[in-house]
Structure 1
């Protein structure tokens, strides 16, 4: 028989799943707590045992999506292979994982433009992504980076290119595939990072 802790965890999971479905169907602005608890088949009062309001539900969903992406980033940019290949795998995997949670990332973009709490969350995520990229750049041989480029600035540029480009890819539904998009983006990264000019793979990973 499930323990109280297990029952609470299951209720929270069902509320989060229901909220994601409701947000996708009705839009975040038009969704309400009543819609969420009805979809989750839970008592109205149980919602407030786990979340203060619908903003808290969305924040929890977004934090889960960020945690999933962070786990992927830790396993990327492996230098036991050619650096160009590592970059492409990094970019391609980011696009894939983003696609799995595209509804949440697009909600973050929308809510971040009007609500300060989500703007702060968006900024934190961007800084985390840029920091991961900076660690990858720092692991490279000094000769790999194009002369005159500031690694911190470059990391922010590449992070913006990756996150904004991927968001636009899913929003605009272009005729080209995710693989074609990944090829183009990773080529730009490799050229900027100078991996077309080095033969040795940098040691370490993000």
Structure 2
């Protein structure tokens, strides 16, 4: 237990511990059974807590999965939001390829949880809406990087940065799900290199 938790009132500390148990139980149960077959009852039993207590923290399994999604996405956001201030086309290419590679590697590392998320996106309107919010955050970040490159004379200015950002993210997203479903036999770095060549070849001057 860290120092900040030790200083918390006992009731607040117990609440945080219960929430943590529910999230850990949820992650384990989702990975074991998949999204559709998992029930909130299984999660509550696995967390060794009561129904009333569990529903203080989460509205149901969809809500709990969304919180797990947010935890997983923190790692993806850290990669997507790496500083991007290239001074040349060559430097931009190196940075973009590295970022794409790290993004797809993370999909591979988080494959089990991402499989659950992919299933939930198809089956739950609530989770699907959350994924669209997550997707938009990535696209906005890419758009910002493109605007930087345009402003510094590195990228074409005759194209819409938001539409280009959408296309770049959707291409990465397609390979992300193929990696998650283990449907593509190509190494991650080869995928990143070819994707980057296509993207930067069309955008950077």
Give the TM-score range, shorter chain: 0.7 to 0.9
| Residues 156-193 of structure 1 deviation map (CA, whole Å, 9 limit, x = unaligned) | 10010111221112313433222222222222222122
The 3-state SS of whatever aligns with 1:172 is coil
Structure 1 residues without counterparts, runs of 5 or longer: 198-206
Residue 123 of structure 1 is aligned with which of 122, 132, 147? 132
2:166 paired with 1:156: yes
Between the two structures, name the one with larger relative contact order (CA 8 Å, sep ≥ 6): 1
The whole-number CA distance in structure 2 between the counterparts of 1:42 and 1:92 is: 40
| Aligned 1:1-206 pairs, distance under 5 A | 3-79=10-86, 82-141=91-150, 143-146=153-156, 148-194=158-204, 197=205
- 1:201 aligns to what? none
State whether residues 104 and 176 of structure 2, in contact with CA within 8 Å, keep that contact through their aligned partners in structure 1: yes
- 1:203 aligns to what? none
Question: Shift of the alpha carbon at 1:73?
Answer: 2.0
| Residues 88-127 of structure 1 deviation map (CA, whole Å, 9 limit, x = unaligned) | 1211121123333333433333333333222211211111
The 3-state SS of whatever aligns with 2:184 is coil
The whole-number CA distance in structure 2 between the counterparts of 1:115 and 1:19 is: 16
* TM-score when normalising by structure 2: 0.83
* TM-score when normalising by structure 1: 0.82
> How many residues are paired up?
195
The whole-number CA distance in structure 2 between the counterparts of 1:16 and 1:80 is: 43
Residues 1:11 and 1:80: Cα distance change in structure 2 (over 3 Å):
farther
State whether residues 87 and 189 of structure 1, in contact with CA within 8 Å, keep that contact through their aligned partners in structure 2: no
| Residues 148-157 or 15-24, more deviating | 148-157
Structure 2 residues without counterparts, runs of 5 or longer: none
The 3-state SS of whatever aligns with 1:97 is helix
State whether residues 97 and 193 of structure 2, in contact with CA within 8 Å, keep that contact through their aligned partners in structure 1: yes
The whole-number CA distance in structure 1 between the counterparts of 2:112 and 2:86 is: 32
Question: Shift of the alpha carbon at 1:133?
Answer: 0.5
State whether residues 15 and 47 of structure 1, in contact with CA within 8 Å, keep that contact through their aligned partners in structure 2: yes
State whether residues 29 and 43 of structure 2, in contact with CA within 8 Å, keep that contact through their aligned partners in structure 1: yes
Root mean square deviation, CA, Å: 2.4
The whole-number CA distance in structure 2 between the counterparts of 1:103 and 1:89 is: 23
